[in-house]
Copies of this chain bind each other. A is one copy, B any other.
Amino acid sequence: MEQRHVEEIRTMISRGRILTDESDRYSYSFDGSFGTYLPDVVVQTKDVQELAALVKYANRELIPICPRGQSTSLSGGPLPVKGGIVIDLSVMNDVLEIDEEDLVAVVSPGVLTADIHKAADRKGFLYPPDPSSSHVSTIGGNLAENSGGPRGLKYGVTKDYVIGLELITPQGEIIRTGGRTVKNVTGYDLTKLIVGSEGTLGIITKAVLRLIPKPPAAKTVMAIFDSLVDAGRAISKVLSSGILPSKMELMDQASMLAVENYEPSGLPIDAEAMILIELDGHPAAVSDEAEQVSKVCSEVGAREVRVPETKAEMEEVWQARKLVSPAIARIKPTKISEDATVPRSQIPEMCRRLQEIKKKYNVHLVVFGHAGDGNLHPNIVADKSDKEEMGRVEQAVAEIFKAAVELGGTLSGEHGIGTMKAPFMEMELGAAGLEMMKRIKQAWDPNNIMNPGKIFPEPGQKLVLTE
């Protein structure tokens, strides 16, 4: 980027900070996925008008703009792959209002998702989307990627709770979509188009989120299986029994082993799988449902079924699930976290295929995740300095995507496409489907300045995990 642009940007951002030192810029060159890309300049401002003027300038001068929250993305969403300006929206965190009458939260993009949970909770409400990263990720990032989480099973994902947005368009106009009403059919649903568009259609500067009453009670059922396929059958049977749990998580043997090695807590490491089922709602409903779920699990052949009675016991069980990610990260330095998702009926078959892929490419594959909605998290741990191993990993990952799509599923349930999965888009969508998405991008951002290089594959682009 030419120096004159930096000078110009300095005059425009009078109430914020401009970072140009290489050491500062380096902190903005990576996220939770792969690759390092240095931006030319980093801009921090809380002023939406200033930001809009900056976007107008960038659009005129054809400078890439990459909005960024806390960069916990696992798919490369915030990476400045074409250089240009990174907008650090984590500083835009001043608005966090809970409106008890309208049953909404109004938030700035830089607010941490966990802070929304806490603010809602204090007033007796729940903001359901609960990505595992919520204590460190911003709502802006959650909106850009349409983040999910365990509670997605019963309550849906981020998109299901966004009813209004303020957005800076790629031309630097400030528009408002939706509003504070839960019903709105006035024209095209720009709100739901923008949520999950990974920063490619504009910069979200405010959001209105729907809240629900906090469920008064919760119980957890823990079931241990000697066979992973039986665990899959139990999941399927619970879901068709008329019960919708708030969470339904799976840990395979490899993930239990990893957690036991990391922080021993007596997990049944000789079993092939454990499932954790959380039920929430009215206390009487929760008790009844916990009993029914236990019965179903036993019938399908669970070796052991347990319902922790105290809050401490319940938290301990969930703690094991939370430790899977850090525990497997210790096995080898490089962790490839996928979120290919399949229809519920295909969960057992997907488990089988993952085991096959693991053997075929001799990779360290661990399966855990949100089993109830088919959103498994096959993770591969490897060492990225080992080119030969990484070659096998790349092939295994490609085959995981292929399996998911073949089973009627999708490349990504909640992490987004970003840079990593772009090469597989046409496999899932077909040329005509991908073309209709591209048309929206071209119509909104003809100069391709908003987060370029994301979602849409470059000609001939392949999955590359080695740098």
Interface residues in chain A, defined as those with a beta carbon under 8 Å from any beta carbon in chain B: 99-104, 124, 145-146, 148, 152-153, 156-157, 159-160, 169, 173-177, 179-190, 192-193, 195-197, 212-214, 216, 236, 239-244, 281-285, 288-289, 341-345, 370, 373-375, 408-417, 421, 425, 428-430, 432-434, 436-437, 439-444, 455
Contact = CB atoms under 8 A, between A and B. Distances in A.
Contacts of A284: 282-285
A373 to B, nearest CB: 5
Contacts of A412: 184-186
Nearest to A154: B212
A177 to B, nearest CB: 7
Contact of A281 (B189, B285, B345): B285
A192 B194 CA distance: 11
B432 A173 contact: yes
A441 B190 CA distance: 12
Given A103-B240, A240-B101, A416 B146 contact: no
Contacts of A425: 186-187
B433 A103 contact: no
A395 to B, nearest CB: 21
Contacts of A193: 188-189, 192-193, 440
Given A103-B240, A285-B284, A185 B434 contact: no
A344 B408 contact: no
A409 B173 CA distance: 22
26 contacts: A100-B240, A103-B239, A103-B240, A146-B189, A175-B433, A181-B374, A181-B408, A181-B410, A183-B341, A183-B410, A183-B413, A185-B417, A187-B455, A188-B196, A188-B437, A189-B192, A190-B436, A192-B192, A192-B193, A193-B193, A193-B440, A213-B244, A281-B281, A282-B282, A282-B284, A282-B285
Given A175-B430, A284-B284, A183 B374 contact: yes
Contact of A429 (B187, B216, B281, B410): B187
